[in-house]
Each structure stands twice: as C-alpha cells, then as structure tokens.
Structure 1
Amino acid sequence: MTLLQANNMRGGYGKADILQDCTITCDRGEVAVIVGPNGAGKSTAIKAIFGMMGLREGEVTFDGETINGLPPQARVEAGMGMVPQTNNVFPGMTVEENLQMGAFLREDGGAGVIDKVYELFPAVFEKRYQHAGELSGGQRQQVAVGRAMMTEPTLLILDEPTAGVSPIVMDELFDRILEIAKTGVAILMVEQNARQALEIADTGYVLVQGQNRFTDTGAALLADKEVRATFLGGDQS
C-alpha cells in the first residue's frame, strides 16, 4: 500500500483552479520531487496534500485513509511533517527551543528524538543555544527540517528546501534528506534546483499549468531530451 496517494487533484484559490487533474504519490523510504516552471502549481500541490488548501475534485489518501477535509494539525498527528519555504523558524528562540516547539504534539516532549536530530545535523547541535535568527540560511533550513522531524513523521514535505543557499549547502541538505529517507521516511519535495533534485529522486513529477506533464524516475527524466531542453536548461543532444 502506497503511503501517500493524491489522485486527480483540482483546486486553487478563489474561483481559479491552479491544479488541473494533478496526481502525486510517495511511498515509505522514497524521495519524490516536484519540479516545473514558475506558476506550475508545485507549491499549491503540496499545500493541498497538507490540508492548507481545499480541493474541488480529487482524493488524498494517507496510510490507507482518506484525509480530504482534515486540517493540517490533524495531518501532522496522522504522520505528516511540513517545512514551508519561508518563515520556517522562530528567529527569537534558540535552536533548541525551535526543536522543542516541533514536539508540541508529543506527550514525552520529544525526549530522545532531539538527540537523533542533533546526530543528523551536527551544525544544529553546535548552535543549539544560539537564536535561530542569528544563523545562516542553510543552518536555518536544517533547524526547520529538524523541527519537522521532532514528530517522527512518516512523510516529510519540503517546499524549496535549498532556496537561497550556496551549492555546497544544497549538496549537504540533499545528503541529509537522503539519510532521512534511508530510515523509511517518505520525502516529498518541491525544488527549484531541478537537475540536482532529480539526481536524488526515486520519482520525479514535472508539472506544467497544474498538470502532470512528465512522471518517471529521476534518472529517466534527466535522460529525457525534451525534459532536459525544456525544463533543465540543457540541449537535446
């Protein structure tokens, strides 16, 4: 049974449908990446999956249960974690306080889990007593991912996790994302750095105007001449 099945999603903001019969799936231990041009509906798709936007058509099932209509907090309780692109840390709180905020649903307050986060992100451990607002962009992203991991999600949703970071930091973040996936967590990621993201993707979705234009393995999409020429800035040779 596939962990996440978001089938034939149609919806948007107001009366406009940004998603047009869009389907996204993701299974345990899998990295699924959504790429496409600006305005393609990438972030809208994950907002719909996380319950931040209603759907006019389509069904979202998670771990075998239909979750249409469930608010985001209920989806977190069901096993989803979400890292938004912006405003994803509390700058006036320390790194450790940020992580503890991620454990608000846990009766144990995240005891033991925080050590796993520190092991995954050593730089976060080193900065644990600093305010998050004092960190670099890449370090803040690590804190944001770590906070989402405090609930021990089975699905981690990431919206542009490498936006605004250097190539070296991007590679490090992708390495950590792969480590998380190896523990059995499903990763669903929207990414502007399409070529690099597809290199680590088990499954890739290319969206155009809210529709699935291409769906295949990351490797197959990277090898596709039309995908390279149109969406990855490459030639068709």
Structure 2
Amino acid sequence: MSQAFLSATGMRGGYGKADILNGCDLIVDPGQIAVIVGPNGAGKSTAMKAVFGMVSLREGTVLLDGQDIAALSPQDRVRRGMGFVPQLGNVFPTMTVEENLEMGAFIRSDDFRATLEQVYHLFPAIAGKRRQNAGELSGGQRQQVAVGRALMTRPKLLMLDEPTAGVSPIVMDELFDRIIEIARTGISILMVEQNARQALEIADIGYVLVQGANRYTGTGAELMADAEVRRTFLGG
C-alpha cells in the first residue's frame, strides 16, 4: 500500500485560547481528491489552514510525505510541496495574469516557462488574457489564475479553500473538471467546499466535519449514499 502523502491526525487548536478543531483527522493519498464538507462554523477552513501552518495546534501531528512538518512555516511548507489557494484575496488585482502566475514561481530557480504553458493549456480562458490585469477578470477566471499560480510552485499537494464560491454553476462544473485533470497528473487535492453534493461527486474521499471533529468519513459515493449524510448535509 502506498503511504499517505498527507497525514494530519488528532488536530486540536484554533485561534487564541479557543479550540476550533477537536481531534480532526485528514488523510490524503497521492493523486487523491479529498473533500472537506460540513455546516458553517464546522472548522473546515481552519482545518486546512492548520495543515498549511496558518493556525496553531495544541495537539496533533501533520506529516507530509512521511515527514513531520509541525515546525515549518507556511513558506517552508510550500517548498516541501504544498500549494494553498485561499478563498478571498487570492490574486494580485493590479498585476497581469502572467505576472500573477510568475509570482507563483518565486521559489524556483529553474526555467518555469514549460509550467506556465501547462497552466495556460489547463485554463485556456486565461491564456488569452495573459496581458490583462487580474482584477478585471470574472470571478471564475480569477479563481483559475489563483489555482494556476499555486500550480506554478509544482505542488504535490494542492489545497483549495472554497474554489467555487460565488461562481455560476457552469463555471463550477468547469473548475471541478480541471481539478480532476490536476489530480490525474498525480497531484493530491485537499478541498474545502460548500457545494457539498457536487464536490462529493468528484471526491475519492470525503470528510464531514461538525464542531471541528470528524462526523463521517468515506468515499464520495459512500457519503452520497448515506441517508443521514444526505438528510443532514446535502439537503435530502
């Protein structure tokens, strides 16, 4: 059996003295799409930020490719293979699309032009707007730029916080299709998503969080077939 690329177990912590996470576990295998769903305030984004080192943990272990990364800063975690796309403020609006993507290559000392062309191939809608300021793009196009910039670091684990927030259903479907394509290249995906039903349809594994703890864990298909999950979290 292959070793999980991400193994975050027993995570307990939050902001200040308040614990948002209460023993949360997140395991992602290589090339897997893992989706975190749950009600508002369940700790979904906090769990992802804890994995990325943006939230302090009082307890728990975060292993990346078998290595304990608890002492590493978010910047060092990027160098180890993590890419993170926050929900808000995820592009530089006064910089062009291409400048945004080039910012993603800041940790690289090699020629990144091949990766740039791969991003444009993955997201053709922004390829024709490479000289346009990112702030002038539609919400869906800005999300593509944000994901593309994270891909420029050549991550092994790509973390997406609400990637389809505020976009139309058509754009949401397109983004999910691109996420599937990214995972097929061997990149692991960890995604927080409010559109739970649609996200679970593409998930290899799903985590339903409630009050910072795992309530249900299973494949996307298993969670979709669970009557209690459907009734409580998927609208019936």
Distance across 2 between alignment mates of 1:90 and 1:185: 25
**Residue 6 (structure 2) aligns with:** 4
Q: 1:179 aligns with which of 167, 178, 181?
A: 181
**Residue 74 (structure 1) aligns with:** 76
- TM superposition score normalised by structure 2: 0.98
Alpha-carbon displacement from aligned partner over 1:43-68 (angstroms, at most 9, x marks no partner): 00000000011100000000110001
- Does the 8 A contact of 1:103 with 1:109 survive in 2? no
Offset at 1:109?
5.2
**Residue 51 (structure 1) aligns with:** 53
Specify the SS of the correspondent of 1:139: helix
Distance across 1 between alignment mates of 2:17 and 2:117: 46
Offset at 1:69?
2.0
CA RMSD of aligned residues (A): 0.6
Where in structure 2 are there 5+ consecutive unaligned residues? Answer: none
**Residue 42 (structure 1) aligns with:** 44
**Residue 155 (structure 1) aligns with:** 157
Specify the SS of the correspondent of 1:56: strand
Offset at 1:19?
0.2
**Residue 134 (structure 2) aligns with:** 132
- For residue 118 of structure 1, what is the amino acid of its counterpart? Y
- For residue 183 of structure 1, what is the amino acid of its counterpart? T
- For residue 127 of structure 2, what is the amino acid of its counterpart? F
Q: 2:114 aligns with which of 98, 105, 112?
A: 112
Q: 1:226 aligns with which of 199, 223, 228?
A: 228
Specify the SS of the correspondent of 1:233: coil
Aligned sequence identity (%): 71
Distance across 2 between alignment mates of 1:38 and 1:11: 18
- TM superposition score normalised by structure 1: 0.98
